[in-house]
Amino acid sequence: MASQDPAGEHPSVTLFRRYLRIRTVHPNPDYGAAMAFIEERARQVGLRHQKVEVAPGFVVPVLTWPGTNPALSSVLLNSHMDVVPVFREHWTHDPFEAFKDAQGYIYARGTQDMKSVSIQYLEAVQRLKAEGHRFPRTIHLTFVPDEEVGGHRGMEVLVQRPEFQALRVGFALDEGLASPTDAFTVFYSERTIWWVRFTSTGNPGHGSRFIEDTAAEKLQKVVSSILAFREKEKERLQSNPHLKEGAVTCVNLTKLEGGVAYNVVPATMSASFDFRLAPDVDLKAFEQQLHSWCQAAGEGVTFEFIQKWTKPRVTSIDAADPWWAAFSGVCKDMDLALEPQIFPAATDSRYLRAAGIPALGFSPMNRTPVLLHDHDERLHEAVFLRGIDIYTRLLPALASVPALPSDS
């Protein structure tokens, strides 16, 4: 049974809970309902809006608050509409009910990742507009599909569209992560994703014999080499308290395939790995390392890329950088401790940075356990509301960054 909205609930919280109830969950996200919700809110706030079709049936709503100086590049506030699947039996409350408990925690898929940020953007803009503000730089809000499945029918193609290029984005904000400490994490880069399948071929035969040069033996050597590398990176992270997870390379064995029967030695077997390469890794040298692991295992061992990102970029967090100065300056004025990090996974920021747009990943949720993709994903309403306050201070600063050489 759905919980009743208590009398006196903050209208921003009510709006947030409405958005959470829209089932934009994979494998069949209801993007139509989400877009109708966003367009309704655009009309209420008084924002221009357009629809950019990036793939057949996949549309990005773009909301615009024009600035006073169209010669300046714009500020982009990006968020994604989709959320990851749920396992209802592991949830305390229905993940699409947006149940709020007596303590003020809102339980729903998307509370942290990242429907909270979408509503915080909208509510901050609404508040500033209602107060009569205008700023030199135009502010755009994009709500993209399919981020949770790689962004291939979302941001990856959006940045190539003429409609996007016409936005003349100079700086972007996108999602970050919750922080269980007092500090707020902000992400200026992220690890490079390589999904790699190693395939080993060898002599087949009956399962009762000691067959030489089998696919399994050679594949085991590759797996052992990669897992030994994983252990070294893990030890490097654990032995240095100054390193965060995003600063080292992570790899996990995610799939093993092969075999036809219990008593048949297979001619082919494969192992798939999810590599997350730190930004300082030499990609060419690391690809050569993959070749070396195959060569060391023996004849007939090869690899192929299932996904290969080759454009890692780092957004400046130098004190002299105007965008970082504006962002960090507001946080300092609000007495918000910032902890700059490299994002350990992947977001749509990688496509923005690859297009030459500096981007920071920031979800204003401190003193909050990291529960994205987890059972019982939740967010306290006070943390959500404070995030609106933070964006209400951030947006004027970012939209008022003086003219830069890149604006011309």
3-state secondary structure (DSSP) of residue 272: strand
Let me know if 318 is a catalytic residue. Answer: no
Helix (H) or strand (E) holding 250: strand 250-258
Among candidate residues 82, 113, 146, 156, the one labeled active-site is 82
Instruction: Give Rg (Cα) of the chain.
Output: 24
Let me know if 82 is a catalytic residue. Answer: yes
For residue 83, give the DSSP letter: B
Is the CB of residue 113 less than 8 Å from the CB of residue 175?
yes
Task: Show the beta-strand stretches assigned E in 90-218.
Answer: 99-100, 105-107, 139-144, 169-174, 184-190, 192-201, 205-206
Task: Show the beta-strand stretches assigned E in 329-371.
Answer: 338-343, 359-361
- Burial class for 276, CB neighbours closer than 10 Å (0-12, 13-18, 19+): buried
Q: What is the DSSP string of 21-58?
A: TS--BTTS--HHHHHHHHHHHHHHHT-EEEEEEEETTE
Distance CA 238, CA 243 (A): 8
Distance CA 91, CA 86 (A): 8
Among candidate residues 113, 146, 147, 190, the one labeled active-site is 147
Is the CB of residue 171 less than 8 Å from the CB of residue 188?
no
Is the CB of residue 39 less than 8 Å from the CB of residue 98?
no
For residue 246, give the DSSP letter: G
Which positions are catalytic? 82, 147
